[in-house]
Amino acid sequence: MAAETLPNTMVRFKLKPGTHTFTLDFEGERQVATVDGKAGDLRFLRIDGTVWAWKSTFVWATDGEDAIRDRAYKARLVSDLTVR
């Protein structure tokens, strides 16, 4: 499954309990993030981007989950995906 995003947007996944690995691919670079969750958990990941005229980079953000949650509540939902 894949999802494309735009700045200040969010993708919401409904996942089964357990460990899930998310990958972020940008210009030949792959970043990996792992999330553990129990039934009913609400977890947040954020992509952090830097854009310059000569180069752009995108990585998984390292802010705390509370800070990411606050940003997510202000974002536009662009996709709602259920993993089966």
Chain-wide mean pLDDT for the chain?
A: 81
72 pLDDT band (50/70/90 cuts)?
confident
Using a pLDDT cut of 90, give the percent of the chain over it: 5
52, pLDDT greater than 90: no
Cβ atoms of 37 and 44 closer than 8 Å:
no
37 is written with which tokens? 């969750």
Burial of 50 (0-12, 13-18, 19+ CB in 10 A): exposed
